[in-house]
Chains A and B, each alone.
Chain A
Amino acid sequence: MVENRPFAAIFSHVVLIIGVVIIAFPVYLAFVASSTDATTISNGQLSLIPDRHLIENYAKVLFEGTDRSTKQPMIVPLMNSFIMAMIIAIGKIFISLLSAFAIVYFRFPFRNTAFWVIFLTLMLPVEVRIYPTYKIVADLHMLDTYAGLTIPLIASATATLLFRQFFLTVPDELIEASKIDGAGPWKFFIDSLLPLSMTSIAAMFVIQFIYGWNQYLWPLLITTRDDMQTIVIGIQKMLTVTDALTEWQLAMATTILAMLPPVIVVIAMQRLFVRGLTETEK
Chain B
Amino acid sequence: MADVVLNLVGKLYAGNIRAVSDVSFAVPDGGFCVLVGPSGCGKSTLLRMIAGLETVTDGEISIAGRVVNRIEPMHRDIAMVFQNYALYPHMSVYDNMAYGLRNRKTPEAEIAARVAEAARILELEPYLKRRPKQLSGGQRQRVAMGRAIVRKPQVFLFDEPLSNLDAKLRGQMRVEIKTLQRQLGVTSVYVTHDQLEAMTLADMLVVMNRGRIEQIGEPLYLYENPATIFVAEFIGAPPMNMIGLDPAVGIPAGLSGAESLPVPPTGAMLGIRPEHLHLDRGDGERGSRLRLELKIDAIEAVGAETYFYGHLGSTGPRLVVREAGRGVVPTDGARAFLADRAHIHLFDKASGRRIEM
Q: A182-B74, A182-B104, A281-B133 are in contact. Are A177 and B90 (CB under 8 A)?
A: no
Interface residues of B in 288-313 (CB under 8 A from A): none
Q: Which residues of A contact B53 (CB under 8 A)?
A: 176, 179-180
Contact residues in B for A243 (Cβ distance below 8 Å): none
Indicate if the CB atoms of B80 and A177 lie closer than 8 Å: yes
- Could you say which residues of chain A place their CB within 8 Å of the CB of B86? 171, 173-174, 176-177
A191→B102 CA distance, assembly (Å): 12
B73 and A183 contacting across the interface, CB-CB below 8 Å: no
Residues of B within 8 A of A225 (CB): none
Q: Is B223 an interface residue (CB 8 A)?
A: no
Q: Which chain B residues border A282 with CB–CB below 8 Å?
A: 89, 133
A267 to chain B, nearest CB (A): 25
The reply to whether A180 and B90 form a contact with Cβ atoms under 8 Å apart is no
| B73→A179 contact, CB < 8 A | yes
CA distance A196 to B132 in the complex (A): 14
**A158 near B: Cβ within 8 Å?**
no
Q: Does A195 contact B (CB under 8 A)?
A: yes
Most chain B CB atoms below 10 A, which of A176, A180, A192: A180
Per the 8 Å Cβ criterion, residues 156-177 of A in contact with B are: 171, 173-174, 176-177
In this assembly, does B7 line the interface, its C-beta being within 8 Å of a C-beta of chain A? no
**Is the CB of B111 closer than 8 A to any CB of chain A?**
no
Known: A179-B53, A179-B73. A173 touches B104 (CB 8 A): no
B84 touching A173, Cβ below 8 Å: yes
B133:A181 contact, CB within 8 angstroms = no
Q: Is B88 an interface residue (CB 8 A)?
A: yes
Main secondary structure of the interface of A (DSSP, over half): helix
* Chain A residues, CB < 8 A from B104: 182
Q: Contacting B84 at CB < 8 Å: which of A171, A181, A191, A192?
A: A171
Q: Does B25 contact A (CB under 8 A)?
A: no
Check A281–B100 contact: CB distance below 8 A. no
Query: CB of A111 within 8 A of chain B?
Result: no
A177 to B73, CA, bound (A): 10
**B127 beta carbon closer than 8 Å to chain A:** no
Residues B51 and A180 in contact, CB atoms below 8 Å apart? yes
Q: Measured between C-beta atoms, what is the minimum distance from B258 to chain A in Å?
A: 51
Q: Does A237 contact B (CB under 8 A)?
A: no
Q: B105 — nearest CB in chain A belongs to which residue?
A: A182
Task: Find out whether the CB atom of B100 lies under 8 angstroms from the CB atom of A180.
Answer: yes
* B82 (CB) vs chain A CBs: closest residue: A173
The answer on a CB contact under 8 Å between B80 and A192 is no
Q: Of the candidates A180, A191, A279, which one forms a contact with B78 in the assembled complex, judged by CB atoms under 8 Å apart?
A: A180
B79 within 8 A of A: yes
> Shortest distance in angstroms between B34's beta carbon and chain A's nearest beta carbon?
20
* B83-A182 in contact (CB<8A): no
Bound complex: CA A171 to CA B133 (Å): 15
State whether A180 and B74 are in contact (beta carbons under 8 Å apart), knowing that A171-B84, A171-B86, A173-B84 are contacts in the complex: yes
Say how far A51's CB is from chain B's closest CB, in angstroms: 51
18 intermolecular pairs with C-beta atoms under 8 Å apart: A171-B86, A173-B83, A174-B88, A176-B73, A177-B80, A177-B147, A180-B53, A180-B78, A180-B80, A181-B103, A181-B147, A182-B100, A182-B104, A187-B103, A191-B88, A195-B90, A279-B133, A280-B133
Given A174-B86, A174-B88, A191-B99, 19 extra CB contacts under 8 A? A171-B84, A173-B83, A176-B51, A176-B53, A176-B86, A177-B82, A177-B86, A177-B88, A179-B73, A180-B51, A180-B52, A180-B74, A180-B100, A181-B103, A183-B103, A196-B90, A279-B133, A281-B133, A282-B89
Please give the residue numbers on chain B whose beta carbons come within 8 Å of chain A beta carbons, in ascending order: 48, 51-53, 72-74, 78-80, 82-84, 86-90, 99-100, 103-104, 133, 147
Pairs A-B, 8 closest by C-beta atoms: A182-B74, A181-B100, A173-B86, A182-B103, A177-B86, A195-B90, A281-B89, A179-B73
